[in-house]
Amino acid sequence: MNEPEQIVFVIDDDPAMREALDSLLRSVGLDIRCFGSVAEFLGAPRPDIPSCLVLDVRLPGKSGMDFQKELALSDAPLPVIIMTGHGDIAMSVQAMKTGAVDFLPKPFREQDLLDAIAAALDKDRLRRAQAAELAILRERLATLSDGERSVVVLVVQGRLNKQVAGDLGVSEITVKVRRARAMRKMQAGSLAELIKMAGKLGI
């Protein structure tokens, strides 16, 4: 089997549901891994590719709703689609508030599930892209010297070169040199781009 480029995880304690979901998702060309409980899912290796989780509420051991909350608080929040055989409004509101992509009462329309899965995979792809971008920016930021870094901090606050020179007690020429070097290291084509990067990095 080729390495899949995206994957759908399913946790449902009912074998018939797992088989049906497995067949349906394979029929539309999705890669799928099924588990009978949260513990089983946590014990299995998870490839580092865009993925999402279709989660049943009533499970042996840890309940689906509890596990969803835990996932949402973790540093790799996997997008979750909740499905349940006895859902009520309160439960669905709670699930959506905790960030579930969708809440499907059983039995549901296949298209609803497929749409939810597509949305969840997109969400994860976007999150991964953002995380990757942030990692690159952090790497670049790390190459800056302390002097260059303090210039960037003041420049993105909107201070002029002259003012930055005054603030740091260096010459305006030095500020210009450090600023140019920082722009090059950060691969920022313009001041606007640098400001956006600073925003993502939280400086």
Partner 1 sequence: MPLLGPLLRRRPLLPALLVLLAAAIFLADTITNLEIAVAVFYVAVVLIAVRYLDRRGVAIVAAACMALTVLSFFLTRAGSMPAGVVNCAISLVAIAVTAYLALRTAAAEASAREAQAQLAHITRVTMLGELTASIAHELNQPLAAIVLNGNAAQRWLAGGNRDEAGKAAERIVRDAERASELIKRLRGLTRKAAGKAIWLDVNKTVTETLPLVQNEAGRNHAALRTELASGLPQIQVDPVQIQQVILNLTLNALEAVKDESVRDVTVQTSLGKPGEVIIAVRDSGRGLDGVQMDHLFDAFYTTKPDGMGMGLAISRSIVESHGGRIWAEPVVPRGAAFRFSLPAGRTGSRGPDR
Binding site for partner 1 (CB under 8 A): 14, 16-17, 19-21, 23-24, 26-28, 58, 83, 85-86, 106-110, 113
| Contact (Cβ atoms closer than 8 angstroms) between residue 44 and residue 35 | yes
The distance from CA 116 to its chain's CA centroid, rounded to whole angstroms, is 16
Closest contact distance (angstroms) between CB of 109 and partner 1 is 8
Dist CA 17 CA 20 (whole Å): 5
| Contact (Cβ atoms closer than 8 angstroms) between residue 83 and residue 104 | yes
Dist CA 112 CA 119 (whole Å): 11
Closest contact distance (angstroms) between CB of 129 and partner 1 is 30
Closest contact distance (angstroms) between CB of 37 and partner 1 is 16
Point out which residues pair with 10 in neighbouring strands. Answer: 34, 54
**Dihedral sign for Cα atoms in the order 99, 16, 7, 45:** positive
Dist CA 98 CA 58 (whole Å): 17
Closest contact distance (angstroms) between CB of 4 and partner 1 is 18
Closest contact distance (angstroms) between CB of 26 and partner 1 is 8
Among residues 17 and 188, whose Cβ is nearest to partner 1?
17
Among residues 46 and 58, whose Cβ is nearest to partner 1?
58
Among residues 114 and 177, whose Cβ is nearest to partner 1?
114
Among residues 100 and 104, whose Cβ is nearest to partner 1?
104
Among residues 107 and 158, whose Cβ is nearest to partner 1?
107
Helix (H, G, I), strand (E, B) or coil at 170: coil
